[in-house]
Amino acid sequence: MGTQILFVTYQTEDFDEGLSYAVDLAKTMNKDLTILMVHKRGFLKRLEDVMTAVTFAGAGEHETAREILSGKIESESIERINMLTEEFQNAGVITRVYIVALDAVSAVKDFLKQKNSVDIVLLSPSVTDNGNISSSELQRLVRTASKPIVTMSRQVYAA
C-alpha cells in the first residue's frame, strides 16, 4: 500500500458524511484511502442504544427498536461499507477499512504509531460535530500527531 489519506469517522448511520470529499481528494492526490471507523461500544453506548430503543418503542416504532437492539443497523452499515469500498476501487482509489473500538483520539494516535504511510488525517463531521470530540482533545491530537489533521464540518443548507 502506498502513501494514504486516513479518513476517521464514527460507525453511525451517517458514517459516509464527508467520504465523497475524501475519495475525491485521494483520487486527485493519487493516494490510497484508509477509512478508520471508530466504534465506541461500551457500557454507555449500550445504555444509549437501550434508551434510543425505548424512545422508538414509546413512539410505536417497535420494529426500529428491535433493529437497534439486535445490531441490525450496524450490519447494514457494514454492507454499505463493502458496497462503497467496491465502488471506490472501481473509480481507481485503493480503499481499506479498519474498525476499532476506541475513541477517535486514541484510535488516530494508535493508527499513526502503527502505520507511517499516512500523509494526512481527515476527521469527518460525525467526529467533529455534536461534542463527539472536545476542543482540548482536538488540540492535543493536533499537537501530538506527526501528520496534519484536517477537520470537516457539516454543510449548512438554506431552507
pLDDT digit string, tens, across residues 84-110: 878 888 888 888 888 787 788 888 999
> In a 10 Å sphere around its CB, with 0-12 CB exposed, 13-18 middle and 19+ buried, how is residue 34 labelled?
buried
Outline where 12-124 has alpha helix (H): 19-29, 43-58, 62-70, 72-90, 104-114
Look at 82 and 72; give whichever has higher pLDDT: 82
In this predicted structure, what is the pLDDT of residue 43? 42
- Pairing mode, strands 95-100 and 118-123: unpaired
Cell 459516509 -> residue: 16
Question: Would you place residue 31 in the very low, low, confident or very high pLDDT band (cuts 50, 70, 90)?
Answer: very high
Question: Would you place residue 33 in the very low, low, confident or very high pLDDT band (cuts 50, 70, 90)?
Answer: very high
In this predicted structure, what is the pLDDT of residue 47? 57
> Would you say residue 136 has pLDDT above 70?
yes
Q: What would the mean pLDDT of 68-97 be, rounded to a whole number?
A: 74
Helix (H, G, I), strand (E, B) or coil at 103: coil
Where do the domains of the chain lie?
A: 4-42+74-151
> Would you say residue 1 has pLDDT above 80?
no
In this predicted structure, what is the pLDDT of residue 68? 58
- Give the gyration radius of the chain's Cα atoms: 17
- Total-model pTM: 0.72
> Would you say residue 125 has pLDDT above 70?
yes
Which superfamily is assigned to 4-42+74-151 in CATH? HUPs (3.40.50.620)
